[in-house]
Structure 1
Amino acid sequence: MTFLERLGVATPIIQAPMAGTSTPLLAARVSQAGALGSIAVGAVDAAGATAMIREVRSLTDRPFNVNMFVHATPRRDAAIEAGWLDALAPTFRSFGCEPPTALKPAYASFLDDEAMFAALLVAAPPVVSFHFGLPRPDQVVALRQAGSILLATATTLKEARACLAAGMDAVVAQGWEAGGHRGAFGPQAEDRRLGMAALTRVLVRNAGLPVIAAGGIMDGRSIRAVLDLGAVAAQLGTAFIACPESAADADYRALFLSDAAAHTEMTAAISGRVARSLPNRFTALGRTLTATVPDYPVAYDAGKALNAAARAAGEMGFSAQWAGQGAPLARVRPASELVATLLEEMQAA
Structure 2
Amino acid sequence: MTLLNRLNISVPIIQAPMAGVSTPALAAAVSNAGGLGSIGVGATDAAGARAMIAATRALTNRAFNVNLFVHATPTARPAREAAWLDAMQPLFARYNGEPPAALRTIYQSFADDDAMLDMLLDSAPPVVSFHFGLPDTDRIKALKDAGITLLATATNLDEARAIEAAGIDAIVAQGFEAGGHRGMFNPDAPDDKLSTDALTRLLVANCHRPVIAAGGIMDGAGIRAALDLGAIAAQLGTAFIACPESSADAPYRAALASDAAHHTTMTAAISGRPARCLANRFTAWGAGTRANPPDYPIAYDAGKALNAAAKAAGEHGFGAQWAGQGAPLHRPMPAADLLTLLHRESQ
- Residue identity matched to 2:226: V
The 2-side partners of 1:106 and 1:290 are apart by 24
* Aligned counterparts, 1:191-206, within 5 A: 191-206=191-206
Q: Displacement of 1:99 after TM fit? A: 1.2
**SS at 1:152's partner residue?**
strand
TM-score by length of 2: 0.99
Residue 7 of structure 1 deviates from its aligned partner by 2.4
TM score, norm. by length of structure 1? 0.98
CA offsets 1:178-216 (integer angstroms, 9 cap, x no match):
000000001111111000000000000102210000001
Q: What code does the residue aligned with 1:275 have?
A: A
CA distance in 1, matches of 2:30, 2:172: 18
Alignment match, 2:154: 154
Corresponding residue for 1:174? 174
Instruction: State the 1:12 CA deviation.
Output: 0.7
Secondary structure at the aligned position of 1:38 is classed as strand
Task: Report the counterpart of residue 216 of structure 1 in structure 2.
Answer: 216
Question: What is the CA deviation profile of residues 324-349 of structure 1, one whole-angstrom value per residue up to 9, with x for unaligned ones?
Answer: 000011001000000000011011xx
Decide whether the 8 Å contact of 2:97 with 2:306 is kept in 1. no
**Aligned-residue offset at 1:256:** 0.2
- State the shift of 1:32 in Å: 0.2
Gapped runs of 5+ residues in structure 2?
none
Q: Distance in 2 between matches of 1:13 and 1:317?
A: 31
Counterpart-to-counterpart distance in 2, 1:246 and 1:291: 34
1:207-255: CA deviations, max 9, x gaps? 2210000001011111111100000000000000010000000000000
**Deviation of the 1:314 alpha carbon:** 1.5
Match of 2:251 in 1: 251
Distance 1:6 1:193 in 2: 33
The whole-number CA distance in structure 1 between the counterparts of 2:295 and 2:187 is 8
The runs of at least 4 consecutive aligned structure 1 residues that moved more than 6 Å come to: none
**Structure 2 CA distance for aligned equivalents of residues 272 and 164 of structure 1:** 28
User: How much has 1:75 moved relative to structure 2?
Assistant: 1.8
Question: Which residue of the partner structure matches residue 280 of structure 1?
Answer: 280
What's the counterpart of residue 265 of structure 1? 265
Matches within 5 A, 1:10-49: 10-49=10-49
Corresponding residue for residue 342 of structure 2: 342
- Alignment of structure 1 residues 51-200 onto 2, 5 Å: 51-200=51-200
Equivalent-residue separation in structure 2 for 1:57 and 1:152 (angstroms): 22
Distance 2:28 2:173 in 1: 24
1:39 counterpart SS class: strand
CA deviation profile, 1:51-73 (whole Å, cap 9, x unmatched): 00000000010000000000000
Query: Partner letter of residue 232 of structure 1?
Result: I
Q: Distance in 1 between matches of 2:336 and 2:98?
A: 45
Distance in 2 of aligned mates of 1:255 and 1:96:
24
Inter-partner Cα distance in structure 2 for 1:200 and 1:314: 42
How many residues end up aligned between the 2 structures? Answer: 347
Aligned residue identity for 2:224: R
Measure how far apart 1:98 and its partner are. 2.2
* Partners of 1:221 and 1:97 in 2: CA distance: 46
Structure 1 position 267, deviation (Å): 0.5
Aligned mates of 1:7, 1:134 — CA distance in 2: 22
How many angstroms apart in 2 are the aligned matches of 1:27 and 1:178?
Answer: 19
The CA distance in 2 between the partners of 1:97 and 1:237, in whole Å, is 32
CA distance in 2, matches of 1:100, 1:44: 20
- 2:297 is the counterpart of 1:297: yes
Shift of 1:258: 1.2
Superposed CA deviations along residues 262-293 of structure 1, whole A, max 9, x for unmatched, are: 11001000000000000111111111210111
CA RMSD of aligned residues (A): 0.7
